[in-house]
Amino acid sequence: MRKTSYAIAFLLVGALLAVNISSIIRTDWLLVRGEGHLGSHNLARFGLAQRCARDLLEIPAPDDGVPEIVYSDWECRPFPMSIRDHCEQGNRRFCVSWATASYIYEIGLGFNVLALLAIIFGVSTHSRRRRIWKAVAGLVGLAALFPMIAFAIISELYRTSKFWEFARARPGAGWYISIVYWVAGIVVTGLVVTNGVAAAKGHAWAAGKRAYRPILSRANSRASRHSHSRRSAGRTHSHHSTVAAAAQVEPATSA
C-alpha cells in the first residue's frame, strides 16, 4: 500500500479511537426517569462502569405561574456494586454480565491502540508496507468486534429488563455512539482490506509507482542466476566455434 493510504488509515483509526474512548467514559448509555416524593423526579444515567443520579424538583409558583425547576448535582458511583445493586441477592447474573461487557469493550480499545502502532511500524520500510496491511485490518476488525459483542450483551440486558430500573429506561447518546463506532470500524476494515488486496495485485492507485512484484526465494534466485550463467556460457562457446570455423575456411579459400 502507498504511504498516503496508510496516512488515511491512521487518521481513520485515530478517529475510531477517539469515538471508542468517548463511548467508554460516557454515563448516558441508558437514561431512567423515575417518580420521587412531593412532586420530585429521580433522574439516573448508566454507563459501562458508572451510575449517576440526581433529583429534579418542581416548585409550584404562586398565582398559577410557571413552576420553578430545581436540579441537584449529579452524584456518580461505580456500577454495578455488590451491595447497593443486590449482586449477592438474586442479581448476580446481571452484575457479572454487565461487568463482563464493560471489560470486553475495553479490550476493543486495546486493539484500537495496537492498530495505530502497527501503522506507525509498518510505514517505516517499503517491504513492511507490502505486508502490514493484513495486521492493520485484523486489529481494526477486532477493535470493532469486541465492542459489538459488548453492545449485544448490554442490549439484551436492557431488552429483558434484567435490572429493576431498566423497565423505565431508554437509550441515550452513549448507546448510539457505540453503534456508530463499531459500524465505522467494520467499514474501515473493509477499506483497508480492499486497498491491500488491490496493492498486492499491482494496481497503481493502491500500490503507487513502485508496484509490488513477487520476491524470489533464495533457492529460486540461485537457480535463476545459474541458468543465466549457463546461457551466457553457451552463447560464448557458440561464438568461439563460429570464429574458429571461419578461420579454417579462409585459408582454404585463399589456396
The confidence band for 238, taking pLDDT boundaries of 50, 70 and 90, is low
For residue 192, give every residue at least 6 positions away whose Cβ sits within 8 Å of its Cβ, in sequence order, or none: 9, 133, 136, 137, 140
In the CATH scheme, what architecture does the domain 3-30+90-207 have?
Answer: Up-down Bundle (1.20)
Q: What percent of the chain has pLDDT over 70?
A: 68
Distances (CA, A) of 162 to 95, 153, 201, 224, 254: 10, 11, 51, 69, 114
To the nearest 10°, report the CA torsion of 197, 200, 201, 205: 80
Nearest CA to 144 among 103, 119, 97, 178?
178
For residue 236, pLDDT beyond 90 = no
pLDDT digits (tens, 9 = 90+) for 244-255: 555 554 444 444
Give the residue extent of every domain in the chain.
3-30+90-207
Q: Rounded to 5 degrees, what angle do the CA atoms 29, 33, 36 make? A: 145
- Identify which of 52-56, 83-87, 175-179, 226-230 has the greatest average pLDDT: 175-179
Rounded Cα gap, residues 80 and 92, in angstroms: 10
Instruction: Output the pLDDT for position 227.
Output: 54
- Joined grid coordinates for residue 9: 488509515
Nearest CA to 76 among 23, 26, 20, 21?
26
Q: What is the mean pLDDT of residues 194-212?
A: 67
Q: Which amino acid is at 233?
A: A
Evaluate whether 83 touches 139 at the Cβ level (below 8 Å): no
The confidence band for 46, taking pLDDT boundaries of 50, 70 and 90, is very high
For residue 46, give every residue at least 6 positions away whose Cβ sits within 8 Å of its Cβ, in sequence order, or none: 27, 28, 29, 30, 31, 32, 79, 165, 169
Instruction: Output the pLDDT for position 243.
Output: 45
Q: What is the mean pLDDT of residues 223-243?
A: 53
Mean of all residue pLDDT scores within the chain? 80
Instruction: Name residue, grid cell 571461419.
Output: 246
Distances (CA, A) of 147 to 50, 98, 141, 157, 162: 17, 13, 11, 15, 20
Least confident of 6-15, 16-25, 61-70: 61-70
For residue 214, pLDDT beyond 70 = no
Q: What is the mean pLDDT of residues 49-57?
A: 87
Q: Are strands 169-171 and 50-59 parallel, antiparallel or unpaired?
A: unpaired
* Secondary structure letter of residue 214 according to DSSP: P
DSSP H/E element including 156: helix 126-159
Residue 38 gets the label, from left (phi > 0), alpha (psi -120 to 50) or beta, of left
Q: What is the mean pLDDT of residues 48-60?
A: 82
Beta bridge pairs of residue 35: 41
Rounded Cα gap, residues 37 and 57, in angstroms: 9
For residue 101, pLDDT beyond 70 = yes
